[in-house]
Structure 1
Amino acid sequence: MAGRRRKRDPFEGLDLASLNGTRAVVTGATNGLGLATARALARAGASVILPARDVDLGRRRAEEFNAAEFGGDCSVVRLDLADLSSVRDCAASIEGPIDFLVNNAGMFPHTHSQTVDGFELGIGTNFLGPFAFTNLLLAQVRRRIVCVASDAHKAARIDPDDLNYADASWSPPRAYARSKLAVMLWGLELDRRLRTTGSPVETMLTTPGWVASNISNKPHLGLAHRIVRGGAELLANDVDAGAATTIYCLTQPIATGSYVGVDGIGALRGRPVLFGRSPTACDFGLAGRLWEAAEKLTGTEF
C-alpha cells in the first residue's frame, strides 16, 4: 500500500553468510524468540538441532525449515529442561561437533511449583536445566555459547544457598527476575572458566528487549495475556527483531563475555547493541558460589 513504511530487516548489517555450513543447537525453538532464531539460522544455511519438549511440534518446525524456502538440514530431539533425566538423555543423543549452542528456552513461572527434580520451577527451568545441558555438551562446542537472559535481572537478588525459596518470599515477577540473574551470573562464571582454561569457545549473554511472544499465554491469564500482547504489538520488538540480539552474538566480532541488548528507549525495542548489566551480575564471588551450588544440584561439572 502506498505510503506504508517498509519494515526494516532486523538482521540488516549482520554477517549471516558466516553461518552457512555451521551446526547449531537452539533450545525453545518451537515458538517465539527461539523459533525466530532457528529460522534465521536455517535460512542462513546452518544445520539446526531443535531440542523440544513437544516433539511433534518440533518435527513440524524442522519440516518447515527443511522445506524448499529454507533448504535447511534440521532435526528435532526431545528435551524437557524441567527434568534432569530428560536433559541427560537429550545431551547424550546429540553427537558430533557443535558450532553454536543457544540456550534460548525459558518460561515465566506463573505458579509456585516445582520441577520433576524438586527445584523451584523458574530457577529449575531457566537456569539449572540449561546449566546441566551446557555442561554435558561443552566438550562438543567449538565456537560460541549464547544464553538468553533479561534486563529483569537488574531488579533481582539471589542466595545460592536458597535457590528453592525456603527462606524467601515468592512471586512470579520476583522468581522470573531471579532466574534471569542466575543466567547472568552463570554466563559470567562460564566465560571466566573458559578463558582460564584457554578454551577457544566464547560465551555471550543477551536480552532481546520486550518481545511480542506467547510467554504470558496461560489458561488462567486470558485477559492479562491479551492486554500484554496488545501492548507488545505496539511497543515491543517482534520475534525476529528480538532474535537479532542472538544472531548478533553469533556473527559479530565482539568480546567474549559480552552482554547484548537493544538500543531503543527504555531498552524495550530496537537494534542489537552492547549493553550494561547490574553490579550484582558482575559479582564474580557470587557467580562462583552459584556455580558450585548448581553443580551439586544437577550433578554435572565443567
Structure 2
Amino acid sequence: MAAQWSSGRLGNVAGKRIIVTGATNGVGLATARTLVGAGAQVVLAVRNTDLGAQRAREMGGSTEVVELDLADQASVRSFPDRLSGDGVDILINNAGGLSQRRSDTADGFETTLATNLLGPFALTNLLFPRIRSQIITVGSEAHKRTTLRLEDMHLRSEKWTVMGAYARSKLAVMLWGLELDRRLRAAGSPVTSQLTDPGWVSSNISNVADTPVLALAHRAIKTVGDRLANDIDQGAAPTLYCISEPIPPGSYVGVDGVMGLRGGPVLIGRSAQACDYDLASRVFAFAEKETGTSLAV
C-alpha cells in the first residue's frame, strides 16, 4: 500500500512568499504553521491582528501580520497597500465562515456570501498582478447539496438558513474557481488555480451561535468532531497537497474518507452544477459587478 501523503513532501519552501487568509485558527492556522515550519515567508491575513501577532510569535520563522476583513470591501481594497513588498508566490484563500442569522454587510452583501465569495474574489483580482505561481481556494463538499439562483444570490427572497447560505456560497466559490482556471489557461498565464475541501474538521467554524440552543448545538458538533473528524493539520493537508504535488491546474483536492468526511488528500470530483462553464461565467460576472473588480490576466 502506498504511504499516505504527509507535510514532509513540502520539502524546503524557503524563499516562497505565501499569503494565508484566516490564519489565526483552524485550518488556516495549521496551513500557515506548516508552511512556516517548511521555511516559507507567510503573510497572516487576519481580522484580529493582536491574535495574529500572537500566532506569529508561536510559529516563529518568517511571518508578517496584515489586517484583512473579507466581509468588508474597504478592508479588501486597502489590503494590497498594507502588504509589504511586491511579489507573492502563492495566495491561499482559506478564510470562510457561517453566519448565525441573515444580515447584510456595510456593502449591502449577504454576510456569508460576502465572506466566502465576494471578499476572496476581490482580493484575488486586486493581488493578481503580484501573484507569481498559484492561487488555492478552499471550497467545500457542501456545494453538492444546493443549487444557485443568480437572481437571488443575496437570498433576499428565498428562505435563509445557516447551512443553506453556506452551501450556496461554497457552490459559488466552486464556480468562481472553475471560471478562474479557464481564464488563466486561456491566457497562457503561469499562474495556476486549484480548489480544495478540508473534509470534516474539528474546528471552531460551527461556533456561530449567541443563543443557548445554538451554543449547545455547537458544543455537541465539536464533541463529536473531536472524536471522529480530521484535526486541523489533517484539514490543511488538501491545501498543502496542491503545493507539493504535480497536479493539473483546476484540480479539486479533498479527502479520501467515507463520504469525504475524513482522510488523506486526494483528487476528487465535484457536482454537475459546479462543472457548468456557462453558470461559472455568470457567477464570475456577478462577482465582478458586485465588487467592481476584474481579473487582469
Please tell me the TM-score bracket, short chain as reference: over 0.9
Tell me the alpha carbon deviations over residues 181-201 of structure 1, each in whole angstroms, 9 at most, x when there is no partner.
011001000000101111010
Q: Structure 2: state its 5+ residue gaps.
A: none
Structure 1 residues 191-202: aligned runs within 5 Å: 191-202=181-192
The 5 Å alignment of 1:1-302 reads 12=6, 15-66=9-60, 72-94=61-83, 95-217=85-207, 218-220=209-211, 221-302=214-295
Distance between the aligned counterparts of 1:64 and 1:161, measured in 2? 46
Instruction: For 1:102 and 1:11, locate their aligned partners in 2 and report how far apart those are by CA, in whole Å.
Output: 20
User: For the structure 1 residues 46 and 183, does the alpha-carbon distance in structure 2 shift closer, same or farther, using more than 3 Å as the test?
Assistant: same
Question: For 1:255 and 1:156, how far apart are their aligned partners in 2?
Answer: 27
Amino acid in the other structure paired with 1:78 = E
Q: Distance in 1 between matches of 2:204 and 2:86?
A: 33
Contact map agreement 1:100 1:145 (CA 8 A) in 2: yes
Contact 2:47–2:67 (Cα < 8 Å) also in 1:
yes
Q: Which whole-Å CA distance do the structure 1 matches of 2:151 and 2:58 have between them?
A: 44
Residue type of the alignment partner of 1:294 = A
Distance 1:226 1:13, change over 3 A: closer
- SS of the residue aligned with 1:19? coil
When the two structures are superposed, what TM-score results if normalisation uses the length of structure 1? 0.93
For residues 235-294 of structure 1, the C-alpha deviation after alignment (integer angstroms, 9 at most, x for no partner) is: 110000000010001111000000001001111100000000000000000010011111
In the alignment, the residues of structure 2 paired with residue 233 and residue 10 of structure 1 have an alpha-carbon distance, to the nearest angstrom, of 21
Alpha-carbon contact 1:153-1:177 (below 8 Å) kept: yes
In 1, Cα distance between the equivalents of 2:69 and 2:38?
27
**Root-mean-square deviation over aligned CA pairs:** 1.4
Larger deviation: 101-110 or 9-18? 9-18
Distance 1:264 1:166 in 2: 36
Residues of 2 paired with 1:126 and 1:101: CA distance? 15
SS of residue in 2 equivalent to 1:15: helix
Shift of 1:13: 6.6
Could you tell me how far apart the structure 1 residues matched to 2:201 and 2:133 are?
A: 27
- Name the SS of the counterpart of 2:11 in structure 1: helix
Q: Deviations over 1:10-68 (max 9, x none)?
A: 852752115232110000000001000000000000000011111111111112222xx
**Secondary structure of residue in 2 paired with 1:135:** helix
- Distance (whole Å) between structure 2 residues aligned to residue 163 and residue 150 of structure 1: 18
Unaligned runs of 5+ in 1: 1-8, 67-71
8 A contact 1:80–1:86 mirrored in 2: yes
CA deviations 1:74-126 (Å, max 9, x no partner) are: 01011111110000111222231111100000001221111121101111110
CA distance in structure 2 between the aligned counterparts of 1:204 and 1:164, rounded to whole angstroms: 25
The AA in structure 1 aligned to 2:153 is L
Maintained 8 Å contact 1:235/1:268: no
1:111–1:172 CA contact under 8 A, matched in 2: yes
Contact residue 33 and residue 240 of structure 1 kept, 8 A:
yes
Q: Distance in 1 between matches of 2:228 and 2:259?
A: 11
Query: Structure 1 CA distance, aligned partners of 2:32 and 2:7?
Result: 18
CA contact (8 A) 1:211 1:236 kept: yes
C-alpha distance in structure 2 between counterparts of 1:88 and 1:16, whole Å: 31
SS at the partner of 1:157? coil
TM superposition score normalised by structure 2: 0.94
User: 8 Å contact 1:10–1:240 — kept in the other structure?
Assistant: no
Aligned length: 289
**Aligned residue type for 1:207:** D
**Does structure 1 conserve the Cα–Cα contact (< 8 Å) formed by 2:7 and 2:237?**
no
